[in-house]
Amino acid sequence: MNLERIDQIIDKHNAEPSSLIQVLLEIQSENHWLPRQALERVSQRLEVPYTRIQHIATFYKAFSLVPKGKHEINICMGTACHVRGAPRILDSIQDLTGIKPGETDLDLKFSLETVNCLGCCALGPVVEIDGKTHGNLAPGKTADVIKNYE
């Protein structure tokens, strides 16, 4: 992500320090992570201390200071999904992608996370990829879902 694009995002929010989290969310959304160069630019333009920005970026799980994959996979491990087979879905996705929860593959194609609830318990087990919900999954169906994102 270049500094010009970061400036456009900041300008869209009138360089208001109160828009810090929204600016970071937009940078994260486009870039899939928050590079140091981006944080330094935000600090400079919003006149917010870099340490404050770093604190916010490390506090919220929505932000990442390391590169993430193009496709973010979230597997629900909440009670309803767990009893309906979420651990087997997780195993299947780990086998297909070669990564474990909290990891990103070397091609920066996929990042994998487990979550406690995605709020659609009746559809369990549920996997969310790039914000799209895939419910009532079985281990044999995961390959078909994943191949749509390759």
Distances (CA, A) of 37 to 3, 29, 67, 78: 8, 16, 13, 37
**Do the domain assignments include residue 8?**
yes
**Do the domain assignments include residue 35?**
yes
SS (H, E, C) the chain: CCHHHHHHHHHHCCCCHHHHHHHHHHHHHHHCCCCHHHHHHHHHHHCCCHHHHHHHHHHCCCCCCCCCCCEEEEEECCHHHHHCCHHHHHHHHHHHHCCCCCCECCCCCEEEEEECCCCCHHHCCCEEECCEEECCCCHHHHHHHHHCCC
| 20 and 53 share one domain | yes
| 48 and 116 share one domain | no
88 within 8 A of 139, measured Cβ to Cβ: yes
The enclosing domain of 75 has a CATH number of 3.40.30.10
Residue 45: predicted pLDDT:
97
| 39 and 102 share one domain | no
**Do the domain assignments include residue 66?**
no
**Do the domain assignments include residue 64?**
no
| 119 and 77 share one domain | yes
Average pLDDT, 10 consecutive residues per value, the chain (150 residues): 92 96 95 94 97 95 90 95 96 96 94 94 95 94 92
Residue 61: predicted pLDDT:
82
**Do the domain assignments include residue 86?**
yes
**Domain final residue, candidates 15, 37, 59:** 59
| 55 and 75 share one domain | no
| 140 and 75 share one domain | yes
**Domain final residue, candidates 59, 84, 99:** 59
Residue 24: predicted pLDDT:
97
Residue 150: predicted pLDDT:
79
Percent of the chain with pLDDT over 70: 100
Domain range for 142 is: 71-147
128 within 8 A of 73, measured Cβ to Cβ: yes
The number of folded domains in the chain is 2
Predicted TM-score (pTM) of this structure: 0.78
